[in-house]
Amino acid sequence: MTDPQRHIRQWLHNRGFIATIEPRFHDWIVTATFYAALHAVDTLLAHDQNSRVVDHASRNDVLARTNRYQQIHRHYKPLYMLAQSVRYLAAPEKWIPFEKVESHVLHRYLYPIEASVQKLINQQLDLPPIKLRTA
Amino acid sequence: MEQQQHKSRPTAIRADRDGGKMFVFHPEGDDLFVRSGRQVIEHCQLGIGLEVWLNELRDMAEHVAAWAQKRPAVQAVYAAPRGTQITLFVIPNADQFDFDLADEMVSLEIELRRFNVGLIETIQIPPGELDRFVDTNQARIIHDRSAAAHSTVAS
C-alpha cells in the first residue's frame, strides 16, 4: 500500500505544474489537472488502505461503487472523460476552449474533488486557487 | 443421410455419476469429438450464460437508446469493446465538450450498473472523431439522431 504522503506530494507537484503551462497549451492544463485530481483520489484510497486500485478502470469502479466516494466520483468521472478525449484530438482547443478551463476544469471539477478528499482524510492542506498564466 | 427420429427416452448425463465418463460425438462431416460428461455440462452452462449476457446487453443498449432519445444534446451513441469493458461513446451535438451532458453521463453509468454485462464506461467525444478512439468496424450504433429520425439499436 502506497503512503498517502507520497500521493500528496505528487498532487501538489502537478498542481504547481498547472500554473506554469502557457495558455496556448491549455489541453495540457486539462491533462495536468486530471493527474492532480488522480493523486488527490489516490491519497484518499491510500488513506483508506484500499489496495484494489491498479489502473483507471479499477479506480473508476471503486469510486462509482463506494458510497463514501460518491461526491468525488461525480466530479472526477467527467474530468476523466475530458482528459481521455482531449489528449487524442488533433484540434483540442475547439473541444475545450481556454476560457472554460478555469471555470469548469478547475472550479467545477478539481476544487470540489480536493475539498472532498481533505474532508475524508481529515487533513487540511495548503491549496490556494491555481492562478493560470494569461496570454 | 436420412435422420432417424429417436422416440426413446433421452440419455441422462449426471455430473456426480457421469462427470468422468467419456462421450463421443459424431457431427456431420469427418469430425469426431470426445468429451467428458463434466465438459458436456460445462458447455451447456456456458451457452446459457452467454444467452443471459446477450439479453442483458440488448436490454442495456435499449436503455441507453431511450436515454439518448430523450436528450437533444446527444447526437449519437456508439458501443464498442475496449479491453475488458464496454465503452459507450457519446457524441454531443455541439463541437465543444458538453459539461452538463457529462454530468448526466455519470448518472447514466450508475444506472447501467444494474445490467449484468461487466464494466461499462462512457466517454464523450467530438462529432466526427469516432475513428480516433475505436475501430469503427467493432463499434455498434446505439443511437444516431443525424442518420435517422428514430433511434436504432444494433444487436
Confirm or reject contact between B86 and chain A (CB < 8 A). no
The one-character DSSP state at B24 is E
Residue B46 has pLDDT above 90, yes or no: no
Nearest to B119 among A61, A82, A84 (CB): A61
Q: Residue B3 — very low, low, confident or very high, per pLDDT cuts 50/70/90?
A: low
Chains A and B form CB pairs within 8 A to the count of: 59
Please write the tens of the pLDDT for every residue from B5-17.
666 788 889 988 9
Closest chain A residue to B112 measured between Cα atoms? A64
Nearest to B66 by CA among B102, B98, B112: B112
Closest chain A residue to B133 measured between Cα atoms? A88
Confirm or reject contact between B97 and chain A (CB < 8 A). yes
Instruction: Give residue A116's domain range.
Output: 4-121
Residues 19-78, chain B, touching A (beta carbon < 8 A): none
Closest chain B residue to A86 measured between Cα atoms? B125
B152/B64 Cα distance (integer angstroms): 11
Phi and psi at residue B77, in whole multiples of 5°?
A: -135, 130
ipTM value, please give it: 0.91
Report the mean per-residue pLDDT for chain A: 94
The C-alpha cell that represents A18 in the structure block:
498547472
B75/A130 Cα distance (integer angstroms): 35
Please write the tens of the pLDDT for every residue from B109-147.
999 999 988 889 999 999 999 998 888 888 999 999 876
pLDDT of residue B39: 87
Nearest to B110 among A64, A85, A89 (CB): A64
B141/B80 Cα distance (integer angstroms): 9
- Say whether A88 and B105 touch across the interface (CB within 8 A): no
CATH level 3 topology of B54-144: Alpha-Beta Plaits (3.30.70)
pTM of the model: 0.81
pLDDT of residue B59: 95
Q: Residue B83 — very low, low, confident or very high, per pLDDT cuts 50/70/90?
A: confident
Query: Contact B47/B128 with Cβ under 8 angstroms?
Result: no
Please write the tens of the pLDDT for every residue from A53-86.
889 989 999 999 999 999 999 999 999 999 999 9
Question: For residues B128 and B30, which has the higher predicted lDDT (pLDDT)?
Answer: B128
Other C-beta atoms closer than 10 Å to the C-beta of B108 total 20
Q: State how many domains chain A has.
A: 1
Domain residue spans of chain B: 54-144
pLDDT of residue B155: 43
- Burial class from Cβ neighbours inside 10 Å (0-12, 13-18, 19+) for residue A24 reads exposed
Nearest to A108 among B99, B119, B124 (CB): B99
B4/B28 Cα distance (integer angstroms): 14
Half-sphere exposure of B125 (CA within 13 A, CB side): 24
Query: Contact B36/B19 with Cβ under 8 angstroms?
Result: yes
DSSP per-residue codes, B76-110: EEEEEEETTEEEEEEEESSSS--HHHHHHHHHHHH
Is residue A45 domain-resident? Answer: yes
pLDDT of residue A1: 59
The one-character DSSP state at B9 is P
